[in-house]
Structure 1
Amino acid sequence: MKSESSVKPAVFFERVLQRLRTASSSLVKDWQTIRMARQVAGHARKDQDRLPVVFFNASTRIRGHSQNAAFSLLASWMVRLTGVRVVHFVCWSGMGHCVLGTDQDAPEKPMPCKLCIRQSRVNTTRAEARVFTYQKNDQLAALLNDLSLEELLHFEHPLTGMNENLPLGKLVLPSLRWRLRLQTLTDDPATRFICREFMLSAWNVAVKFSSLLENIKPQAVVLFNGLHFPEATAAWLCKKCGVRVITHESGFQPFSGYFVEGDVSTYPITIPDVDLTPEQDAFLDDSLKQRFQGLFSMAGIQFWSEMRSLPAELLHKAAGFKQVVAVFTNVIFDTTQLHANVVFKDMFAWLDALLEVIKVHPETLFVLRAHPDEARPGKASRESVTMWFEQKAATLQNAALIQPQERISSYELIQLSKFILTYNSQIGLESMLMGVPALGAGQAPFVDFDTVYFERDREAYLRKLETFLTDPMLEIPPEPVKRTRRFMYYRYFRFSLPFGAFIETTLPIGYVRLKKFSWRELEKSPTAQALLNGLLYSKLFELEV
């Protein structure tokens, strides 16, 4: 048995080696970024006739490149190579508290600004950067100090030069929920503190960004997501000043980004009313085959390295019921929920409504499948479907739960089901293609294309659900399947712009690094052409496929 004295030096040296490996890896990644930045700067033309484009993303990374941080950087290089002036609006300790730097368990901890600024220096090598620092507004802080959480979230404040008050509470709410990993917020000191800090930081962003707009008068501003408070504040100001806003998010293929004029979180796309060609159908089928095997990722996250079949215990239990209905949930704090809550107040209000249906249909086994991202390390939900189930449904004989971390095939669960219920998950689309009807309860980008079944008020939804439960046989007509295939093809391949030629996965999970490529490869890529058509010429951000 090793003595304590012999173990401690080994642990110490292993930690030192790991730090050296991390530092070495970071230097290699940074050097590749700097090398490409210099190439772009050296070959960028100068077009004085076009107004500049501003890039701003303060909620994508602290250090390294998340996928969306890489999309923003690569897009800025693509624009620079056309000769259009690019201005980076860069946080330089510009917020008292930011979305990624705030520790919800210890909100008083200082922000990791040094790491973030170091990465910003690398990313803006030989680029034009307008940095902003933090000046706390003591007068505003005094106004916020004694407000309840509800009063904070409804708080507005006048901003010089604007006809409307800046809705600070509304702007920070999605970030507050995302940071706390909650939908239902508690009016306690910690929540109020983070809320106030976000609001004061949003105010500082507003003051500094409005000055930038006035000084450089851009033709467009490119923002990550547009819902977290730094970017949401910038988007609000742009809309009031008549400046085009381009927002981006991760696309629906590996290493792909989705750009749109306006609000990317609503995923607005235009789809022609024509059938797919045989080649397009085959292309889609190949992609779906991989998804059904679990071979896909979202935002750089490979949720399952493997998928297992349904457990024998669940199959045995299902055999004792007349029918099975699968219920697929979402992550409650995800920013997509902002648009989903139309029919129901939120996802848990929907589950509460389902609970009453479950109780009066003992012949049906309802299997809840919690979203795998609900238990992702470092991002686990604090208001989870598992908690809801244990508190409200665990004693019901006709209710079962598949935990988020269980690597069980959702597609086998669909095949076992008479129909499935979703909130706003896109698995409803895949279910429709598998011949299993999907009834959605939340607003989603695809419901306006008549894909999954969807009712626009609560009572109509419950009536449709009752019909699905009592009808002896459900069949999907051909037209919804055609519409679903068309939507998925255009969403996956036409509007998800590929960046895989320029980035590859690295640690930590969800992060990427730049590949080796030349500035000319970047300039001539189909992705650059699609992005520039949308950004500079107000066309759709789409590929010709």
Structure 2
Amino acid sequence: MLKLYWYTMVNRWRLFWLTRDVARQAQVDGDQKPVIFFNASARIHGLSLNAAFQLLAAWGLRLSGIPVVHFVCQAGMSRCVLGTNRDDASESLPCAPCVAQSKRLYRGADVRWFSFDESTTLVQSLLGLSLDELCNYEHEGVPYGEIVLPSLRWILRRHHLEDNEANRFLLRQYILSAYRVGQEFAVLLDKVKPSTVVVFNGIMYPEAMAKRVAEERGIHVITHEVAFQPFSTFFTDGEATAYPIEIPEEFELSTEQNTALDAYLSKRFQGDFTMAGIRFWPEMRELDEGLIKKIEAHKHLVPVFTNVIFDTSQVHANTVFPHMFAWLDQILETIKGHPETLFVIRAHPDEMRPGTQKAAREHVAGWVEKHGVVELPNVVFIGSEEYISSYALIRRAKFVMVYNSSIGLEATLLGAPVLCGGKARFTQYPAVFFPQSEKAYKRKAEEFLEAKEIDVPDEFMHNARRFLYYQNWRTALSFEDFLQAHPRKGFVRLKAFDVQQLRAKNSKAVRVIRDGIVNDGSFLV
């Protein structure tokens, strides 16, 4: 506790001096239109990776002469996402520490605060609605239910929601709050007339609402998320959680680039990596003797890799199946029809994230138990806290089934045929088999199980390597010169640095972000 307190105090001290120096050294170019930054869903009182990325980007733009306006919550929502207590929906929000942190982060900046004011008309129209009616609720042509639903699923850590008063209450409050955010953001846009709006993620309802309001006015909107290198971010004028990447047709990896990619994969296949500041694999064990014997007792091995059901990527993934569990339901039918094949169902390592509040409350382990899956003689279930090497399974597999996890791309790189059930960032390019209907998926699985050999197009490996290189080295904007690890997972500390390092001429990340905003650049390194 003493160490955490020390880190907090040092971070605050550095914030004090950095915000002061940025304010003193930033000189606004009168010919530049303002850029609005909005992030209400990445932190409360600490400094998460995404909160840090947005802060550093805003500082960099200000030091480049671009006027920046921060749209900041001051108890502006009756229920925000991070402030929601999933066990007690009635608990009041932690607004005081959140606002205090905002004042520290945006000291000396142009801040436009917004507060909450409940719409009586909207309140009346929401009363008595069922959960399903709230999920599909529209008002004045705006699909508020659709906008807030991903946030509720995320904070409740589940996809399927029970129609109870607690969930209905949260949906009503999220809708009322989204309406207020939209009102206040529209006023700000009309006053400031920005060239660009930058929001975190774009899926959480406050930012999703701001994004929608800006796009309705034809304003350029940029979203950002954590990228796939340490202390790096991904900026795009598309959907950051879908990770759109445009790779030129003529792009081919050089010898040096291939060497860098191979070195990365070597570490990755040993579990030596982090994502969003989280190390999923404290260790990685090879297959034990019992599992090997079971594999050898069957004709084929098919690993099944799942995802985290509440992850914001699921908004984009559910194009073939309505959700991941529907995909698993179909796979269960296939399992029962093929006793000669061993299916190893692998829960995502982030599903039950130990030591955090992000453990799923609707999870693959529950689905397995509900359907009695482990009672089937040709199934092995590996939970998210079992650190058995997924790559060892892939190397023995006839083919691999994935929903939309990164392991699908890696399985292709290991030479395995991959049958993908959900839209993934890597399905933008042919790198896996991705049938476009539930029936087609079922047929393809049967075809693979019956085939003596599965022909994998050469372009799959080629595209997988090109995509992974672009993802890791061209789209990842590194702020590692300014950030360092924090004992709390997913959070960071500021390094000691001179704000001159954040000028575009000195920071590649700031230069790319500025070019993307001012010159409609690609946000590629």
TM-score scaled to structure 1, two decimals?
0.94
1:361-380 matches, within 5 Å, as: 361-376=338-353, 377-380=356-359
220-229 vs 139-148, which moves further: 139-148
Note the C-alpha offset of 1:140: 1.3
CA RMSD of aligned residues (A): 1.1
Instruction: Trace 1:28-427 onto structure 2 (pairs within 5 A).
Output: 28-158=10-140, 165-273=141-249, 274-376=251-353, 377-392=356-371, 393-427=373-407
Distance 1:280 1:32 in 2: 37
Q: Secondary structure at the match of 2:350?
A: helix
Distance 2:16 2:281 in 1: 34
Residue identity matched to 2:359: A
1:227 alignment partner, SS class: coil
Structure 1, residues 179-236: CA drift from partner, whole Å, max 9, x if none?
Answer: 1111111111111011111111111111111110111010000000001000000011
Q: CA deviation at 1:21?
A: 4.6
Question: Residue 63 of structure 2 contacts residue 502 of structure 2 at CA under 8 Å; is this kept in 1?
Answer: no
Q: What is the identity, as a one-letter code, of the residue corresponding to 1:388?
A: W
Taking the aligned partners of 1:427 and 1:29, their CA distance within structure 2 comes to 36
Distance, in Å, in 1 between the alignment partners of 2:194 and 2:98 is 25
- For 1:519 and 1:380, the matched residues in 2 are separated by 38
Q: Is the 8 A contact 2:308 2:348 kept in 1?
A: yes
Cα deviations by residue, 1:373-416 (Å, 9 ceiling, x for unpaired): 11013111111100111111122111110000111111111112
> Which range moved further: 48-57 or 447-456?
447-456
Please give the alpha-carbon distance, in whole angstroms, between the structure 2 residues aligned to 1:244 and 1:311.
53
Residue number among 442, 453, 462 corresponding to 2:433 in the alignment: 453
**1:24 offset after TM fit, Å?**
3.3
Of 261-270 and 509-518, deviating more is 261-270
Counterpart for residue 463 of structure 1: 443
Q: 1:101-141: per-residue Cα shift (whole Å, max 9, x none)?
A: 10110110000111111110110011110011111222211
Of residues 433-442 and 515-524 in structure 1, the stretch that sits farther from structure 2 once superposed is 515-524
For the residue of structure 1 that corresponds to 2:23, the secondary structure is helix
Quick one: which amino acid aligns to residue 214 of structure 1? D
Q: Alpha-carbon deviation of 1:453?
A: 1.3
Work out whether residues 432 and 476 of structure 1, in 8 Å CA contact, stay in contact via their aligned partners in 2. Answer: no
Structure 1, residues 284-341: CA drift from partner, whole Å, max 9, x if none?
A: 1111111111111111111112111122221121121011000000000111111111
Q: Does the aligned pair in 2 maintain the 1:331–1:373 contact within 8 Å?
A: yes
Letter of the 2:285 counterpart: R
Matched, 1:515 2:492: no
Deviation, structure 1 residue 507: 2.4
- The CA deviation at 1:259 is 0.3
Distance 2:4 2:438 in 1: 52
Q: Distance in 2 between matches of 1:36 and 1:281?
A: 39
Cα distance in 1 for residues equivalent to 2:289 and 2:351? 24
- The code of the aligned residue for 2:449 comes to L
Residue 91 of structure 2 aligns to a residue whose secondary structure is: coil
Match of 1:541 in 2: 523
Choose the corresponding residue for 1:497, options 477, 485, 488.
Answer: 477
**CA distance in structure 2 between the aligned counterparts of 1:417 and 1:34, rounded to whole angstroms:** 55
The residue identity in structure 2 corresponding to 1:336 is: S
1:14 maps to which residue? none
3-state DSSP of counterpart to 2:342: strand
| Distance (Å, rounded) in 2 between the aligned partners of 1:289 and 1:41 | 44
Question: What's the secondary structure of 1:456's corresponding residue?
Answer: coil
Between the aligned partners of 1:116 and 1:538, the Cα distance in structure 2 is 33
Partner SS, residue 65 of structure 1: coil
Asked whether the equivalents of residues 504 and 514 of structure 1 are also in contact (C-alpha less than 8 Å), the reply is yes
Which of these residues, 394, 399, 408, is aligned with residue 428 of structure 1?
Answer: 408
Q: CA deviation at 1:242?
A: 0.7
Residue-by-residue CA offset, 1:487-510 (whole Å, 9 max, x unaligned): 100011100111111111102111
Q: Hey, what's the Cα distance between the residues in 2 that align with 1:461 and 1:139?
A: 46
State the 4+ residue runs in structure 1 displaced beyond 4 angstroms. Answer: none
Moved more, 83-92 or 313-322: 313-322
Give the equivalent residue in structure 2 for 1:3: none
TM-score normalised by the chain length of structure 2: 0.97
* Equivalent residue, structure 2, for 1:439: 419
- For structure 2, the 5+ residue unaligned runs are none
Tell me, yes or no, if the aligned pair for 1:275 and 1:482 is still in contact at 8 Å: no
Q: How far did residue 475 of structure 1 move?
A: 4.5
User: Counterparts of 2:189 and 2:111 in 1: how far apart (Å)?
Assistant: 14
CA distance in 2: counterparts of 1:137 and 1:394, whole angstroms? 51
Q: Percent identity?
A: 47
User: How far apart in 2 are the matches of 1:311 and 1:98?
Assistant: 45
Retained in 1: the 8 A contact 2:427–2:434? yes
Structure-2 separation of matches of 1:455 and 1:124: 48
- Shift in Å, 1:266: 1.8
Post-superposition offset of 1:477: 3.7
Between the aligned partners of 2:197 and 2:40, the Cα distance in structure 1 is 14
2:4–2:487: 8 Å Cα contact kept in structure 1? no
Structure-2 separation of matches of 1:314 and 1:530: 48
Q: 1:233-268 CA distances to partner (integer Å, 9 max, x unpaired)?
A: 001101111111000000011111000013212211
The answer to which of 326-335 and 148-157 deviates more is: 148-157
